[in-house]
Structure 1
Amino acid sequence: MEQLVILSQLEQEYLLHAIEAALPVQHARQFFLWTQGQLQALLPHQVLVCLQFGAQEELQHIECLHSTVLEAGLRSRLCSRDDGLALRLAQHCRGSGGRLPALLDAGPHADPLKAGQGLAPFQGELRELGLENMLMHGSERLPGGATFFVMFGLPHRPRPRHAYFLQLLLPYLHISLQRISRQQAQAQAGTLARPVSAREAEILHWVREGKSNDEIGMILGISGLTVKNHLQRLYRLLGVSNRAQAIARGMVLQLFDRAPLMLANAA
């Protein structure tokens, strides 16, 4: 990644067009068209998986973009929110202190000893999925959340110059994903059967702080059983089944951006 990369005139044109086309992206459809157009011209690939993480490192949003029909099983193995390959790659790269951008060749002639960043264990899985290679990059941990991007199935063996192109485009990918994630969260918030009440927002805040039902009850001056009942109603409203899922859903819906009325009076 350290070698000097000199862009050809054609590459410079493709890069400039990709940057210009990224500036007005606000919605998911615009993002899709950009990734399948100008981004593909510079960095051809079969599948792009985009992940957004919250301040607590929880996965908030995931996009799987591809221009051809993707078999459901393959999509699940790449993009599952629980143990998809893209998520595991993000966790590996962001948790091991490895350097980004990173690339991996898993073709038939690839040498596992040349797989940097401890990525050799992923080579067999890539080959099994029929993708052979990948290119990835992600932002650092930021107050507004981090992002991570994986391009699977480049038509040619990825080189440091491809990683350099992705590095140049990372700010535009990051900002675009944040924009569409926020727009989708606002749309999802409007689909709830009813608004989240002030009391439910208070309780969810203290759940995120790691408080038990009894502790929340003491803070709010109600019983732990009442807190439990509020949580059960909130779970049904958000379509979740436990505290961790409620926190993640609250992040997506930006419920924690609203200051609960009782916080000022809480100990």
Structure 2
Amino acid sequence: MFATDPLTLNQHELERLLINFETSVKVRRRHQLYLWTQGVLQSFLPHETMLCGLGSISGANLRTEICSRAVIDEAQAASFCNGEQSLLLDMARYWSDSSGAPMTIRSTDAHPLARRLHLNGIERAACHGMPEFGAASRKHVSAGSFFVFLHLPETTLLRYKYLLDLILPHLHVALMHVCNNEGADLIPDSTPEPALSERERQVLQWVRQGKTNHEIGQILSISPLTVKNHVQKILRKLNVSNRAQAAARGVKGDAAKQSKRSSALDDEALSAQ
């Protein structure tokens, strides 16, 4: 239950907030960011998908990431985070031009971005960021961050802005840690794919096809919780933050293996001549 006063936390909310503070400082890698935002943070800021950017609203050297429980295809991911007209930057510009305070938007609101949410099947969204992210005109400014939360429950919308304001510094620090530890870009690199178990490869195969944990459990005759555990291990091994990236990384890994096999056959053929 939430506190009656929108600017007051009850005992349960205080406990959830402290747990999130303690968890956020442990985030160092992409998969840890995913596990935190789609795990413990859900008890405080429930959502389906989080978009985040580190840098500035100008888009120069902007690093972006998507953490989501849903399967997001490449076209949708690009619409959310890539380019000047991405949903992330559109919301950031509106946020910066307004008060720079946390915002919530419904698809039915009389709001410039409401129609875009509606076209993407998003009923409710919220966003907030560090002041530096909106400082596009300042030359020497430290990196800021910006966060967009999609598919929010209606019951928490009135308090979401207040809660988001409380957790923002910890989201920022966690994202900074990930960027510092993962290098200059958050996009998965081309490092060799870690070995997956036979069961994990089976789960990843169905993740690629857009199956839910429940559906995968039925196919493999295991519980949805067991599937969830396998998915989390896959994310950790592949060093990615969501199912779509895991699927893409897995496909890339298969293609690389096929290329290596073809190259090896070519080498054998050449040496036999």
What is the alpha-carbon root mean square deviation over aligned residues?
2.5
Secondary structure at the residue paired with 1:135?
Answer: strand
In structure 2, relative to structure 1, the CA distance for the partners of 1:157 and 1:125 (3 Å cut) is farther
Q: Which structure ranks higher in relative contact order (CA pairs < 8 Å, sequence separation ≥ 6)?
A: 2
3-state SS of the aligned residue for 2:65?
A: strand
Deviation sequence 1:188-215 (CA, Å, 0-9, x none): 9xx89xxxxxxxxxxxxxxxxxxxxxxx
Over residues 36-95 of structure 1, what are the superposed CA-to-partner deviations in whole Å (9 max), with x where a residue is unaligned? Answer: 11111111111100011159762420001102212333222212233211111112222x
Contact 1:104 1:158 in 2 (8 A): no
Contact 1:48/1:65 (8 A) holds in 2: yes
Separation in structure 1 between the aligned mates of residue 23 and residue 165 of structure 2, nearest angstrom: 17
- Work out which of the residue numbers 74, 77, 85 in structure 2 matches 1:75: 77
Asked whether the equivalents of residues 136 and 148 of structure 1 are also in contact (C-alpha less than 8 Å), the reply is yes
- On the 8 A contact 2:56/2:132 being kept in 1, the answer is no
In 2, are the aligned partners of 1:48 and 1:150 still within 8 Å (CA)? yes
Residue 113 of structure 2 corresponds to 122
Counterpart in 1 of 2:102?
101
In structure 2, the CA distance between the partners of 1:74 and 1:187, relative to structure 1 (3 Å rule), is closer
C-alpha contact (below 8 Å) 2:122/2:150 kept by paired residues: yes
Residues 12-161 of structure 1: matches in 2 within 5 Å?
12-54=14-56, 58-94=60-96, 96-106=97-107, 110-112=108-110, 120-141=111-132, 143-156=141-154, 159-161=157-159
The SS at the match of 1:104 is: strand
The residue type equivalent to 1:92 in the other structure is: Y
SS of corresponding position for 2:131: coil
CA distance change for structure 1 residues 89 and 159 in 2, over 3 Å: closer, same or farther? same
CA distance in 2, matches of 1:134, 1:68: 15
**Cα distance, 1:98 vs structure 2:** 2.3
Tell me the equivalent position of 1:182: 180
Bigger radius of gyration among the two: 1
For the Cα contact (< 8 Å) 2:100–2:131, is it kept in 1?
Answer: no
Any unmatched runs of 5+ in structure 1?
113-119, 193-267
**Contact 1:105–1:157 (CA<8 Å) still a contact in 2?**
no
Aligned-residue offset at 1:102: 0.8
After TM superposition, the runs of 4+ consecutive aligned structure 1 residues lying more than 4 A away are 54-57
> How far has the Cα of 1:135 moved from its partner?
0.8
In structure 2, give the amino acid aligned to 1:129: N
Question: SS in structure 1 opposite 2:162?
Answer: helix
**What TM-score comes out, normalization by structure 2 length?**
0.59
